[in-house]
Amino acid sequence: MTTKPDCFPTTIEAEVSASVLDSLAAIPEESVWLAKLKSRRTRTAYRRDVEDFMKFAGITASEQLHRVDHRPVIAWESHMREYQQLKASTIRRRLAALSSLYKHLVQHSVVPINPVRDVERPRVSRNQGKTLAFSQRQARQLLDAPSPHTIQGMRDRAILAIGLQVGLRRAEIARLLVRDLHQNRGLDSIWVNRKGGACESVAIHPQVANRIRDYLRATGHENQTETAMFRPFRGNGKGGPLNRALHPDAVNRILKKYSRGLKLPAGFSAHSMRATFITTALDNGANLEDVQRDVGHADPSTTKLYDRRGHNPEKSASFFASY
């Protein structure tokens, strides 16, 4: 029987004084909206997006934000599209951030309507994502690229295996603890802390488990179960301890380091490992629902965006246009 780790904070019952309740009631709803977003990266991005709108509209106070109607939102969308020439996906994200704020304000009776709701948003492809995927040959080259004879190489071999053979997001890889490697029903598995705080056990390929164990044995911290599984080998200039967890951006740098070393084309990122995993798993007969569950997507349509089976560059019509 596998014991689930404490992925969620323990609920602590306590009496809250009237003065504390009064203090909480005084917190602006805008701050409450931001605080309820579970992802730190989402909070940072959404705050910047709303601040960009406020700067464009000359808004400096919450009361002004509460009086906004659809007109400044339309003007902002036009400014981003025609003057700044931002990507459609960026414009949609910014509008989604502002809409999320106003939806919260409507729900809590701060404003009567969401002024973003009826603003037309630029179209983006819903049939295929833009994340580049590796070919199976390129993926194999990446898995074999790090040295199996150095601790850093063993760490990178494990990280690349988790990305390409389990399909975790870079932040999920960086959050792994030593204890997260476990067995479930006799299968090697890892506990994955998903976006939003959910925690799930995912069975992993034996090669991935072996690489993780080889790395942990080599580092000597295999019994330090509550510590980060993947750690940096040098400081980041900020004086942080070397026993801390890798930053998610480091996963991206590791992937790009070996990609450059193999002279692979530019444009790949850590997310390319996730796209490659989904496509390869589906290519080899995995069920869409099983892949969706293992990568932590709430909707199968999101998983389909990463599926490259319908796009085979080798069958491009251009190759048949010989003159």
Which range (34-43, 70-79, 277-286, 313-322) has the least confidence?
313-322
Q: HSE on the CB side for 307, CA within 13 Å?
A: 20
* CA distances to 55, 79, 215, 276 from 140, in Å: 48, 45, 19, 11
Query: How is the beta sheet containing 187-193 ordered, strand by strand?
Result: 181-184, 187-193, 199-203
| pLDDT score for 297 | 79
Which range (144-148, 185-189, 258-262) has the least confidence?
185-189
| pLDDT score for 14 | 44
| pLDDT score for 315 | 59
Q: Provide the phi-psi class of 186: left if phi over 0, else alpha when psi is between -120 and 50, else beta.
A: left
Cα gap 178→213, rounded to integer Å = 10
| pLDDT score for 73 | 94
| pLDDT score for 11 | 41
Contacts of 91 (CB under 8 A, 6+ apart): 77, 80, 81, 121, 122
Buried b (16+ CB within 10 A) or exposed e, 245-284: bbebebbbebbbebbeeeebeeebbbbbbbbbbbbbbbee
pLDDT digits (tens, 9 = 90+) for 203-243: 999 999 999 999 999 998 888 989 999 998 875 444 445 67
Cα gap 65→302, rounded to integer Å = 33
In terms of C-beta distances under 8 Å and separation of at least 24 residues, what long-range contacts does 7-11 make, across chains too?
7/191, 7/193, 7/197, 7/198, 7/199, 8/197, 8/199
Cα gap 288→266, rounded to integer Å = 29
184 has a pLDDT exceeding 60: yes
| pLDDT score for 5 | 53
pLDDT digits (tens, 9 = 90+) for 107-159: 999 999 999 998 988 876 555 557 788 989 999 999 999 999 999 999 999 99
Cα gap 302→44, rounded to integer Å = 23
136-311 CATH, one of 3.30.300.90, 3.90.1010.10, 3.40.50.300, 1.10.443.10: 1.10.443.10
| pLDDT score for 13 | 41
CATH number of the domain at 24-107, please?
1.10.150
- The answer to whether 218 touches 231, Cβ cutoff 8 Å, is no
Asked if the domains at 24-107 and 136-311 fall in one CATH topology, the answer is no
Cα gap 71→69, rounded to integer Å = 6
pLDDT band at 291 (very low <50, low <70, confident <90, very high): confident
Q: Identify the helix (H) or strand (E) that includes residue 274.
A: helix 270-283
| pLDDT score for 7 | 47
Residue whose pair of structure tokens reads 């009567």 in the numeric block: 112
Locate the domains of the chain by residue range: 24-107, 136-311
pLDDT digits (tens, 9 = 90+) for 244-257: 889 999 999 999 99
